[in-house]
Chain A
């Protein structure tokens, strides 16, 4: 037990947590934006996968930042398609999300086989690139905690820093700008902004595009830093865990940051635990993030139910 606690608070583990949380955080932020605008995006996982593939294929033929951009743009395009079918064609957003998920699972394998000329399992034959790690070893100079800080903060993908900045940026957007007010109004009570002349469909469309772009960016991180290259179904349910994180984080940027980090920690545990407790079967360990998500969902539902009842009472 003591070993476990020591491991969790070790610099190496914390660094791992930051690394594993990054794709999840990006997808979660995407989920947050969509949810706040009133359109729950259940296709986050599929969009992430598409982002993974786009990033891998693009970076195989171009510099790494083009790969990252490809993930972002691919996500955005998918978001636009979702917006089209949901807002213009009036299809239910959950069904649209499901369709995109189906498209992603099959389509990415299909796309992969075309890109690699027949390989459907992984992109191992493609020379895709990695996002360079940002070296902060100059932090060593800080007296005392320098080396500790370095081992936690140095060597992360620049997208990790982007994600952290985004948390602040999205908070500022939501609570300090008029457009954030519009977004929240559209999600909570659409007839109010509509009466004020705000185009609800436009706001929702943009939020879906941004939401998907963020998920795509998370996919780029996943396929260019956490792993290098594309494997079928490599997202392993992260997009759905992101939904859980949105709920757990009380639909607030800081809350979802904490939730995503928590889930990242559990994901990190799945690599650490087998070393410490080898009698725990690997399947059980892999189950942990999903079990935690369900527990979080249940706990949050209880809380939300109470809050809702309070608000509804006259």
Chain B
């Protein structure tokens, strides 16, 4: 099979000196499923952006069907038959499916937008490629898996021959991943080529024909999926043997310190996010909240932190009812949290590292007395934490926005864990973080647990949950539908069935997992 897309010696340096690509080679054969793997920061996203015309390479060349091409913008790439599905969808929430699909290439009669024709075309594409999408509803009402397929429809509508998928399985449950794979195979059958960027090695091995491995901006290998194992891939990606597990604690014996009783959370529309939810956490244990994003895990953590109003129910910490307490008061009780989105919620990127590190401690007499800041103490604190958590930064006064993703997350972790918390609420702790920092953060969380903290961990990464948790609770539509003690034979498939509401445990079955 001939190569449909080739990249030779691609280089790209961003202003500021960051070398994203430094000699990247890629060769994708026609009609194959080609995966590009590598840690965060390896340069995969940049390569894809270059392929799609969003970025321009500083060095090297791109070949399409053997002929050199240059894309000055995405429109060029689209015209050449390349379609891209981003990890973060580009869908206008209030527009319908068909409006989103045809946006930019609308069928029109004169100046009039021909909606009938658009709807018909979208429906036809959906049927042909087995995507099962109704063209009419507004996109914001669709579940994530369907939204993703709308993105695929967008590419197909523009006669894409090559589809690039950027981490498509990041937000999908195992069964939805299988649905996506069915769609991908159907695309291949009809003559398309699929390139995708991935992190999740088991999936990569399942669906791809060929795998290109990148590390630190370079291509380090190109292998056939049938000829490698997960472990050898991981080694190629990182360059050293990587152990992907963390020691788990012996079953905690102490009485539960966190009690969530009959929690009812409602959204502004009045419908329940969760009703009558109860869970407990003991000191010295990590409870993992499993579930596809949007089933209530994040909201429960917000409610415990005090960031979300509670309609009904009780939340107790160490016997004390924390419901009437403000966020600040709860922090004073020893609740700390690592938020889902560090840039949007966990940090002030325009402020300095020192200021970020002290932001949650403004009632601490060490740093603030009579409303006045003790700048020296703040600075010393920052220097200590920078060293303790190996944060790579020029100094405590550097703006946080200049740090890499992993180091930014370390600032968040350092701030929240600089003092042993009683309850730690963690959400997506290693999203967008490279393997080295991931290991460090996992160790830190486990360390907090060993120090006696009760930890609630919510993550979209099942392997992370399986690696860290002592107990696992599966969320579906705001209810806990399954609870497990973490054992070696617990698999993603088992959890997946519960995550999608396909089965539910009985009360008895849940007892062990509920602690």
Contact = CB atoms under 8 A, between A and B. Distances in A.
A and B touch in the complex (CB under 8 A): yes
Contacts of A314: 267, 273, 294, 299
A193 B267 contact: no
A145 to B, nearest CB: 35
Contact of B103 (A177, A192, A309, A310): A192
The interface centre, meaning the residue of A182, A309, A311, A313 with most chain B CB atoms within 10 A of its CB, is A313
Contacts of B74: 194-195, 197
A177 B113 contact: yes
A196 B108 CA distance: 17
Contacts of A188: 92-95
A196 B103 contact: yes
Interface string B85-117: 010101111110001100111101001110000
Nearest to A189: B92
Given A177-B111, A192-B103, A197 B75 contact: yes
B113 A181 contact: yes
Contacts of A309: 267-268
B268 A178 contact: no
A147 to B, nearest CB: 40
B154 interface: yes
Interface string A189-210: 1011111111000000000000
A181 B103 contact: yes
Nearest to A178: B106
Contacts of B104: 182, 193, 196-198
A286 interface: no
Contact of B154 (A176, A177, A194, A196): A196
Using C-beta atoms within 8 Å of the partner chain, give the interface range for chain A: 20 to 34
Contacts, number: 76
Interface string B108-140: 100111000000000000000000000000001
A192 B267 contact: no
A261 interface: no
B354 interface: no
B91 A189 contact: yes
B304 interface: no
Contacts of B299: 314
Given A177-B112, A313-B267, A314-B267, A193 B93 contact: no
B50 interface: no
**Chain A binding surface SS class:** helix
Contacts of A242: none
B73 interface: yes
A306 interface: yes
A189 to B, nearest CB: 4
A189 B94 CA distance: 9
Nearest to A305: B268
B240 interface: no
Contacts of A197: 73-75, 78, 104
B299 to A, nearest CB: 7
B85 to A, nearest CB: 9
A193 B103 contact: yes
A313 B75 CA distance: 34
Interface of B: 73-75, 78, 84, 86, 88, 90-95, 99-100, 103-106, 108, 111-113, 140, 154, 267-269, 273, 294, 299
In the A-B complex, list the 3 residue pairs whose CB atoms are closest, starting with the nearest.
A313-B267, A196-B104, A309-B268
Given A185-B92, A198-B104, 12 more contacts: A177-B113, A178-B106, A182-B103, A182-B104, A185-B103, A189-B90, A194-B74, A197-B74, A310-B267, A310-B268, A313-B269, A313-B273
24 contacts: A177-B108, A177-B112, A181-B99, A185-B92, A188-B92, A189-B91, A189-B93, A191-B90, A192-B90, A192-B91, A192-B100, A193-B92, A195-B90, A196-B104, A197-B73, A197-B74, A198-B103, A309-B267, A309-B268, A310-B268, A311-B140, A312-B268, A313-B273, A314-B294
